[in-house]
Amino acid sequence: MNVQRILVTGRLYAELAALLPDKRPDKAFRFVAEEELTDDDFVWADAYVGFRPAGPFSLANLRWVHSLGAGVDAFLWKREWKKDVLLTRTVGSFGEQIAEYCLSYLLRDAQCHDVYAWHQEQRQWKPFAPKRLGEQRVVIYGTGEIGRRIAETLRLFGVSPIGVSRSGRDTPPFSAVYRHEEAGEALACADWVIAALPLTEETHHLFDETFFACLHNAGFINVGRGATVEETALVGALENRNVRLAVLDVFEEEPLPPHSPLWVHPNVIITPHIAALTSAEDAAQSILDTLRCIETGEPLANAVDVSRQY
């Protein structure tokens, strides 16, 4: 594939303007803020780099689209895609970042930080033993790159993570992997469920009332995509204690609307989609590596299977 004119947008466009042209002076770049994109930009470009389709986005003249995030649902969800347009995604330190995010909340809960903070406010001296992380039963939905990194990290603390995937295929470092429809027994015993799934037709609202009914006072973390969770079902699960604590970094609508009951629920922790952030350096390296592979015909580890939507 011969790519010559690369249109770069999104929140990192100015930083990427300082990193890319000197590395590939043989390419023509345009660095444009999303709100300033015009039809002319898409007529000019044969490649597009951004977090999402922005402005008068059009695939008509594009040969390559590169997502600056790990997820690609912004490009594929409820959209038609041209089969001859290559879609790739950024692969950086996302798995490591998300694993640390999940670990921080599991440790916070196991070490009873909130309980001891309350006791301190009350000036009460009430020692009791924290839970050991290795004794926690953790189920991870998604056994791809990010799910595996979470599992690897938890194994360092003695956890034997169970995976749930579309295929149910055995995947190290999970102690066992189940298909979605076979996970009921594992869910019934889970202390934590971590959702790290992409958004596809199959995963849309996968975490619904039926799913939450399988849980018994479990913690729930979503670091995948917000629309995999039916939020009204989650609120109901919090009320009836199927879920005792929800840690949510992603939501079906972002920013989360002010009227959402999740904002004020005492057993919900909200973070604004920051579990894994793309740095300009990671983004630039991913763009350059992908471009090199495109030109040399090397295998693309970050190519998206459009038919599977991830």
pLDDT 10s digit of each residue in the chain, 310 long?
999 999 999 999 999 999 999 999 999 999 999 999 999 999 999 999 999 999 999 999 999 999 999 999 999 999 999 999 999 999 889 999 999 999 999 999 999 999 999 999 999 999 989 999 999 999 999 999 999 999 999 999 999 999 999 999 999 999 999 999 999 999 999 999 999 999 999 999 999 999 999 999 999 999 999 999 999 999 999 999 999 999 999 999 999 999 999 999 999 999 999 999 999 999 999 999 999 999 999 999 999 999 999 9
CA distances from 213 to 166, 190, 218, 243 (A): 20, 12, 11, 9
Contact (CB, 8 A) for 62 and 43: no
Q: In what order do the strands lie in the sheet with 268-270?
A: 176-179, 162-165, 138-141, 192-195, 218-222, 243-248, 268-270
* Candidate list 5, 119, 244, 273, residue with the active-site label: 273
273 in catalytic set = yes
Alpha helices (runs of H) in the chain, residue ranges in sequence order: 13-17, 39-44, 73-76, 94-110, 113-121, 145-155, 184-188, 209-213, 231-239, 280-296
In the set 135, 185, 239, 254, the catalytic residue is 254
Superfamily (CATH H level) for 5-92+278-296: NAD(P)-binding Rossmann-like Domain (3.40.50.720)
The pTM (predicted TM-score) of the whole model is 0.95
Active site residue 80: no
Residues of the chain within CATH 3.40.50.720 domain(s) are 5-92+278-296, 94-270
Assess whether the previous peptide bond of 173 is cis (omega < 30° from 0). yes
From the candidate CATH numbers 3.40.50.300, 3.30.1510.10, 3.30.70.890, 3.40.50.720, the one assigned to the domain spanning 94-270: 3.40.50.720
Task: Report d(CA 250, CA 228) in Å as an integer.
Answer: 10
180 is catalytic: no
Per annotation, catalytic residue among 63, 89, 225, 230: 225
